[in-house]
Amino acid sequence: MTPQSRALKTAPKPKLTRAERNDEVKRRLFDAAAKVVGRLGYAEASVARITELAQVAQGTFYNHFQNRQELLDNLLPTIGLQMVAFIQERSNAAEPGAGRENARFRAFFDFLRAVPEFPRILNEAEVFAPRGYQSHLDNVATAYVRILKRARAAGDVEDFTDQELEAIVHILMGARSYLSRRYAYGEGSADAVPDHVFTAYEKLLSGGLFRPRRDAAEPGA
């Protein structure tokens, strides 16, 4: 080992600022809460379980949250924004228009495999953390509508009104939710989604479901 490498090995890590330490502790609490809720559900996600997994003192917990419910109300929105960033990063390089939407759809299922706790956190939130559940839906829908408005301005989306785009966003969000329940989960863990799910979505998006009706004979023939 050279003197330079020994110096690098023994050099102390730079100290975190107080704000950085607070952010790190809060991140560990959120990560621990996600694992506890994903495994045991909201009802069993006690402060004791969360702080033990996060290796944080229970007293420190209350420096960041007034109570357990405040953490649970913020859990789903926090993970939801991570999901939005994850999907955006994975789809930005795709072709604009239908190609990029197809990439977003596939990235959603990649996220489920990366964060297998997400479905239980989402599905139970409506009962145990309704404020967080609504905040999550609003956050995702707002980001999705903004994306489609930009695509419309670029000429990659049909000339839907703002209100129609909002409805379409909820249709697409609903499709993700139901398809993930049907195809993405087996014995409590995320599975690879069959390819026909993606091809069905892509065909529906680019070509629609129904063909125009053709009369048996042209008028006046």
Phi and psi dihedrals of 105, rounded to 5?
A: -60, -45
Q: Rounded distance, CA 72 to CA 76, Å?
A: 7
In the predicted structure, residue 208 carries a pLDDT above the cut 90 = no
Are 150 and 168 in contact by the 8 Å Cβ rule? The answer is no
What angle in degrees, to the nearest 10, is found between the helix axes of 68-91 and 47-54? 50
Q: Rounded distance, CA 172 to CA 157, Å?
A: 14
Angle ∠(205,163,104) on CA atoms, nearest 5: 35
Q: Rounded distance, CA 100 to CA 87, Å?
A: 10
Q: Rounded distance, CA 112 to CA 106, Å?
A: 10
Task: Mention the CATH class of domain 72-206.
Answer: mainly alpha
Min mean pLDDT across 60-74, 84-98, 175-189 is at 175-189
Are 42 and 125 in contact by the 8 Å Cβ rule? The answer is yes
In the predicted structure, residue 67 carries a pLDDT above the cut 70 = yes
pLDDT in tens, 9-51: 555 667 768 788 889 999 999 999 999 999 999 999 999 999 9
Are 139 and 77 in contact by the 8 Å Cβ rule? The answer is yes
Q: Rounded distance, CA 170 to CA 172, Å?
A: 5
CA distances from 219 to 87, 116, 178, 211, 216 (A): 50, 58, 44, 20, 9
In the predicted structure, residue 115 carries a pLDDT above the cut 80 = yes
Rg (CA), the chain: 23
Q: Name the CATH code of domain 16-65 (choices 1.10.150.120, 1.10.10.60, 1.20.1250.20, 1.10.12.10).
A: 1.10.10.60
In the predicted structure, residue 203 carries a pLDDT above the cut 80 = yes
Domain range list for the chain = 16-65, 72-206
Q: Which two tokens stand for residue 168?
A: 């379409």
Q: Minimal CA–CA distance to 183: which of 109, 83, 102?
A: 109
Q: Rounded distance, CA 99 to CA 101, Å?
A: 6
Look-up: residue for tokens 């109570």?
A: 67
pLDDT band, very low/low/confident/very high, at 176 (cuts 50, 70, 90) = very high
Mean pLDDT over all residues of the chain? 89
In the predicted structure, residue 107 carries a pLDDT above the cut 90 = yes
In the predicted structure, residue 217 carries a pLDDT above the cut 60 = no
Are 128 and 36 in contact by the 8 Å Cβ rule? The answer is no
Distance of CA 52 to the CA centre of its chain: 26
Q: Please state the rounded mean pLDDT for residues 109-117.
A: 94
What is the value of pTM for the model shown?
A: 0.84
